Amino acid sequence: MESPVPLARWWREPWWARVALGLIVAGFTVLTCWNLARGGDFSFYEASARSMSQSWHALLFGAFDPAATVTLDKLSGFAVPQALSIRLFGMSISAIALPQVIEGIVTVVACAVVGLRAGGRGFGLVAAAAAASTPIFVSMFAHPMEDGLLTVALAVAVVWWQRAMLTARSWPLLVAALFVGIGFQAKMMAAWFVLPALVVATLAGTPGRRRALARAGALAASAVVASVAWITVIALVPAGSRPYVDGSTDDDVFAMVFGYNGLDRFAPGAWPGSVGASASTGGVGSTLTAIVHALSGHAASAHASSSGTAGAGASYGKLLELPLVTQIGWLYPAAVAGLVLGLWRFRPRRHGWSSPARRQRFALTVLLGLWLVTSAAVLTVTRVPHTAYVAALGVPLALLAAQAWREGIRLRRAPGATARMTLPALVLVQGAWWAVLLPTASLPLVLLVPAIVLAVVGLTVGVVSRRAAPVALAVALLCLPVATSLQVLDDARDGSGGDAYVGVTAHGDHSDERFAVSTPAPWGGTPQLTPAVAQLVQSARDHGGGNGGGPLFVTDSWAISAQVIDATGASVLTDGGYSGRVPVFSVDDLTALRESGGPHLFVVADGAPEGDPVREVATAPGCHELGSWDFGAHGEGGEVNKVTGATLYRCSGG
């Protein structure tokens, strides 16, 4: 067994290094909290978080509604911190988003820890700064999205994996596997993007073939067990004691996770019991539309965006194109250079590695490179429904870019003309890449001009002055990502909970729009009902809906019920799930509820098909229409436009 490598600790570093890290974290916190009260989530998720905050039963199963009749269309681990925050601070937009800010801070610190232990305090500071200035991170962690918990869980998993490699102990591998499992609860199989990298890097970083295989096998098996443990528990609970599982036609959580949110994205219908990949239309979408979207590979869980970037980037070059590239791609050349330089420098020689530290640096480089390649490959061949998906590239990109910085500084002082030319060559390539991005990035001049000046000055000083090179080149490397991220200070440029995005548009065609720093709004914000839905809710209450703690009404459209639950916390029963094709209730179920003194008000979305159970019950004998609302006529926006209108019916009891 190789001797363990002493673990570096940030609290043992010089005061100036700790202050620098604190300033990086503070800057990131300011950016993410600046518009926190304005950055509401997609109402489908907000409704679930509020429902889960009101009932431990709903929290336990990740229910969409307070009565816990149906789950979300994905695992709800990401919403658990949101629900607890609402329970602690009360319902507000900022209370829902606060857990993501904390997750972002932990992600930045995790990058700093990995960098410190890999290459020293400079490596750690640059890695933290690169993560803190990644545009998609600054927007995503400021909004309540499932990608936040996924990102922090995998970043922390790498911290524990690195500890296992450096200390030659196995138990931290199990902790790393646990965090992969936590990431799975946030965004299911997206958490497994890192798993091949962890396994291969464990094989590379562990001396002795048998021990390496044993450790890698234990890591993989533990990660899979941690991932599926909770859904196994859900599957074992009797159907009558838990909500119906959305995304499945037979109440099967495995069909929802591995079919609806997994294989259906590549081969619709491949998993029995899954409703198939489709775009939601608020619960009343047509079968033809569902088939078209399924054949195009559209993810069932891809929710529409108010910013217009959702679903963008369907080509194989999407990661090099708008709208995605300006959110994640500023440091592509540096990251590739960090990967190549790391593999070359720390590669095994004829007699293996000269020290345990070199072996661990090689293993870490393998991990980051394979994680980056795996994530990029999956995102390339599948449709990217909203921009936050590219956050999967953020942590490995930040760490590899920091490694390029570290190796560039070292090679600048190395003997030999070829080694000394490495840094100028990297600078040249990175500058050329920025020249490609800038014309389409639509950065406001007030941010662009200082960034370019800093880049030029930093690069010049870094090449000319050996003493000032580390700081100057770090500034030059990060000035344009920082400038891009500073746009979130304008609430018109900070994205949304439906689609995290930094900038004025997904297409870069509004560069003349003014940039104005918004008044800080770190706390508060209340979800609101649109006018027509507010009228519908008031009418339902006027006719006895919600009396005695019962449901306000039953509807066949989540686009209506989500807004009501989100804004009021009222119990609304919803049939159809997100796709509109999930049999949460049958006609007999609703009839029995009605005749037993249950809900007597039904809201039917316009365009509901003939076989829709809510429509059949609402239009049966003994029911009459109370009123109709045309959402288009009221200028409704957001998710409610997924249906054009709705009608309220009242039915007599048995």
Average pLDDT over residues 59-81: 94
SS (H, E, C) 61-108: HCECCCCCCEECCCCCCCHHHHHHHHHHHCCCHHHHHHHHHHHHHHHH
Compare 364 and 261 and report the one with higher pLDDT.
Answer: 364
310 in helix, strand or coil?
coil
H helices of 465-530, where?
A: 469-485
At 198, the pLDDT band (50, 70, 90 cuts) reads very high
pLDDT for position 509: 46
pLDDT band at residue 641 under the 50/70/90 scheme: low
Is residue 387 within 8 A of residue 499, CB to CB? The reply is: yes
* 255, 182 Cβ separation under 8 angstroms: no
Average pLDDT of the residues of the chain: 87
Q: What is the pLDDT of residue 385?
A: 81
Pick from 339, 318, 340, 338: nearest CA to 329: 318
Model pLDDT, residue 305: 39
Alpha-helical (H) ranges within 346-486 are 356-381, 394-412, 417-420, 422-441, 445-464, 469-485
pLDDT score of 1 more than 90: no
Give, in order, the Cα–Cα distances in Å from 234 to each of 48, 67, 75, 243, 581: 17, 17, 11, 10, 21
- Reference 38, options 516, 519, 484; nearest CA is 519
- pLDDT for res 511: 47
Cα 518 from Cα 301, distance rounded (Å): 32
Kindly report the CA angle at 644 between 642 and 648, in degrees rounded to 5? 110
pLDDT classification of 599: cutoffs 50, 70, 90: confident
Between 461 and 132, where is the model more confident? 132
Segment (H or E) for 60? helix 56-61
pLDDT of residue 566: 93
Residue 347: is its pLDDT beyond 90? Answer: no
**β-sheet bridge partners, residue 625:** 649
Least confident of 386-400, 495-509, 535-549: 495-509
pLDDT (tens digit per residue) in 201-219:
999 999 889 999 999 999 9
Residue 653 has pLDDT above 80, yes or no: no
For the chain, the maximum distance between any two Cα atoms, rounded to a whole number of angstroms, is 91
- Copy the structure tokens of residue 320: 């090099």
pLDDT > 70 in the chain, percent: 88
Residue 365 has pLDDT above 80, yes or no: yes
Confidence of residue 636 (pLDDT cuts 50, 70, 90): low
Residues 516 and 308: their CA atoms lie apart, in Å, by: 21
In this prediction, residues 163-177 reach a mean pLDDT of 94
Tell me the pLDDT tens digit for each residue of 612-627.
999 999 999 989 999 9
Between CA 269 and CA 408 the distance in angstroms is: 50
- pLDDT at position 308 over 50: no
DSSP 241: G
Distance CA 215, CA 177 (A): 11
Check: CB of residue 83 under 8 Å from CB of residue 52. Answer: yes
With vertex at residue 594, the alpha carbon angle to CA 593 and CA 596, rounded to the nearest 5 degrees, is: 65
Gap between the Cα atoms of 284 and 305, Å rounded: 19
Check whether 124 has a pLDDT greater than 80: yes
Q: How far apart are CA 299 and CA 452, in angstroms?
A: 39
- In whole angstroms, give the CA distance from residue 85 to residue 101: 12
* Least reliable range by pLDDT among 132-136, 266-270, 435-439: 266-270
Of these ranges, 42-46, 357-361, 573-577, the one predicted with the greatest mean pLDDT is 573-577
Mean pLDDT, residues 121-148? 95
- Band (293; pLDDT cuts 50, 70, 90): very low
Model confidence at 32: pLDDT above 50: yes
Name the residue ranges covered by the structural domains of the chain. Answer: 1-236+340-526, 248-280+288-299, 531-651
pLDDT top residue among 96 and 42: 96
Does 162 score more than 60 pLDDT? yes
Q: How far apart (Å, rounded) are the C-alpha atoms in residues 316 and 318?
A: 6
What is residue 542's predicted lDDT score, i.e. its pLDDT?
A: 94
Q: What pLDDT, on a 0 to 100 scale, did the predictor assign at position 34? A: 95
Band (222; pLDDT cuts 50, 70, 90): very high
What pLDDT, in 10s, does the model give residues 366-410?
999 999 999 999 999 888 888 999 999 999 999 999 999 999 888
Minimum mean pLDDT range among 30-34, 38-42, 595-599, 642-646: 38-42
How far, in Å, CA of 275 to CA of 306, rounded? 26
pTM for this predicted structure: 0.91
- The Cα 479–Cα 459 span in angstroms is 11
